[in-house]
Structure 1
Amino acid sequence: MRHGHFLKAAEELQYAPSTVTLQIQRLEADLGVSLFIRDGKRVIVTEAGRWLQHEAAAILKTIGSMRQTVSDIAAGDNGSVRLAAIEPVASQQLAAVIAGFCKARPKVELTMEVSGSRSIAERVQSGELDFGVCSVPAANLMLEFEPLIEERLGILLHTDHPLADRTHIASDDLAGLTVLVKEQTCIYRQLWETAVHPTERHAFSCIEVGSISVIQQMVKAELGVGIVPMYRGLEEAGSLVIRPFAEPNPVIAIGIVYKDKNVLGKAALLLMNAIRSIREPPPSRPTA
């Protein structure tokens, strides 16, 4: 249509002129209209032909965009990722990794939630989430689990607290204190209840707080001590310190939970691989 001549159009398309003429004739027959008026060796585009050219150009542009998007999705540079993680690993370890991923792949639509381990595992199993970072899921959910780190519980204290000078704190040291703990469904609360302090639970008073950040602020205001996983990022110079429990202090494995790696998009797989960077190195073996 731009050239006004089938021969020049055929040369640009690298087709035989007869092939171009035949295709135009078939298109006109199929549409039941004339797209061109023949004027000797030249052709003049009809009104129907001009309209078709405009619409075809828009369609071709859309197809090109679709091809590029599909190619980007296959490469992990586009698409969507849905994940959730527990606190405080979400803020203390994953936030920087995810920020770097988003900067490198700005077209990827990423949704990250913060939730409890049980909820995360159930939503991964149902397909609501691509993957999660949490504790070991229940066996009946039939999920894959890749361990990343092991977490230990500690006591969050104001620096002015009498126990802040201790190197380790025993459960008995909490007698008479106000202890800030997470909700019953939290894995850290469960570890505290079942392993660290299975007896004498009434030797101190507990306040249930649904957020570790709020526990931080309450301890900073000198209301009791907090039961938290040991992250240096939860400490504040001059205000808050974390002291480990005296042995035995059991650990919780935190890792990546997913249902079927084969159905995950490339972007999700790339993000999972980036998150693996927080994995703790295996303990070194002693040399002979």
Structure 2
Amino acid sequence: MNQVLNIEVDLGVGLAMPAMPADERLTRISFYTETYSLYVHRDHPLSGRESVSCDDLRGLAFVMYPQGFYGRDLIDRWSKERGLVIETIMETGSATSLLQLVGAGIGATIQPSRLIESFQSLGIRAVAIDDSPIREMVIMYRNDKYISVAAKAFINKLETSFQTSR
């Protein structure tokens, strides 16, 4: 966002940061939203469920990203709003490591719902969370600067690509 505001780049693509105040100089276009799921070992008692509620997550042992990572901060805000305490037994900054820990039966994790497509062989299952955390991807640009034909084509291509991949 700062590079767009400082006119170092024409466009920015990234995660919407709800904790940051909106800057009126920026136009933001949401092009993709994604829910989060609970990831558990295939033998976990919750693995056969189609979905779980926030209450179902109480008392579970979690492996998570460290605090300060966007995904962890999003989950912490979401859980705090619901009176849920995420009991973290281990932290790592690697999605691969988190899912390997889940596959080894060490704990559960909460990650973007589509992440499972990359880790089918680990013996884990993604279970939808009712009223789950949501992350939003946005394109941003300065609304007081000229947007080239190429930038407009890129925005259009990005929106179209993500609409067809849902």
Q: Which of residues 43, 65, 73 is equivalent to 1:190? A: 73
Q: Which of residues 122, 125, 128 is equivalent to 1:244? A: 128
Bigger drift between 156-165 and 123-132 goes to 123-132
Q: Which of residues 205, 228, 231 is equivalent to 2:111? A: 228
The equivalent of 2:38 in structure 1 is 155
Q: What is the deviation of 1:159?
A: 1.5
Query: Which AA in structure 2 matches 1:122?
Result: N
Higher helix share: 1
Query: Which AA in structure 1 matches 2:16?
Result: S
Stretches of structure 1 that go unaligned for 5 or more consecutive residues are: 1-120, 282-288
Aligned residues: percent identity? 21
Q: What is the deviation of 1:201?
A: 1.6
Higher strand share: 2
The equivalent of 1:179 in structure 2 is 62
What SS class does the counterpart of residue 140 from structure 1 fall into?
A: coil
2:135 aligned with 1:255: no
Report the count of equivalent residues: 159
What SS class does the counterpart of residue 242 from structure 1 fall into?
A: strand
Q: What is the deviation of 1:237?
A: 4.6
The equivalent of 1:169 in structure 2 is 52
The equivalent of 2:21 in structure 1 is 138
1:88-110 CA-partner distances (Å, limit 9, x unpaired): xxxxxxxxxxxxxxxxxxxxxxx
Q: What is the deviation of 1:181?
A: 2.4
CA 1:223 to 1:135, structure 2 compared with 1: closer, same or farther past 3 Å?
Answer: same
1:207-244 CA-partner distances (Å, limit 9, x unpaired): 33323233222222322111111105244156222111
CA 1:258 to 1:218, structure 2 compared with 1: closer, same or farther past 3 Å?
Answer: farther
Residues 58 and 85 of structure 2 are in contact (CA less than 8 Å); yes or no, is this contact kept in structure 1?
no
Pairwise mapping of residues 51-130 of structure 1 onto structure 2 (< 5 A)? Answer: 121-129=1-9, 130=11
RMSD: 3.0
CA 1:216 to 1:142, structure 2 compared with 1: closer, same or farther past 3 Å?
Answer: farther
Residues 235 and 241 of structure 1 are in contact (CA less than 8 Å); yes or no, is this contact kept in structure 2?
no
Q: TM-score, normalised by structure 1?
A: 0.46
1: CA distance between counterparts of 2:57 and 2:150?
A: 47
Query: Which AA in structure 1 matches 2:3?
Result: R
Query: Which AA in structure 2 matches 1:126?
Result: N
When Rg is computed on C-alpha atoms for both structures, the one with the higher figure is 1
2: CA distance between counterparts of 1:186 and 1:197?
A: 16
Pairwise mapping of residues 13-52 of structure 1 onto structure 2 (< 5 A)? Answer: none
What SS class does the counterpart of residue 140 from structure 2 fall into?
A: strand
Stretches of structure 2 that go unaligned for 5 or more consecutive residues are: none
Residues 54 and 84 of structure 2 are in contact (CA less than 8 Å); yes or no, is this contact kept in structure 1?
no
2: CA distance between counterparts of 1:132 and 1:206?
A: 33
Q: What is the deviation of 1:197?
A: 4.7
Residues 41 and 103 of structure 2 are in contact (CA less than 8 Å); yes or no, is this contact kept in structure 1?
yes
Q: Which of residues 62, 78, 100 is equivalent to 1:217? A: 100
1:181-223 CA-partner distances (Å, limit 9, x unpaired): 2343444323322223542426x33433323233222222322
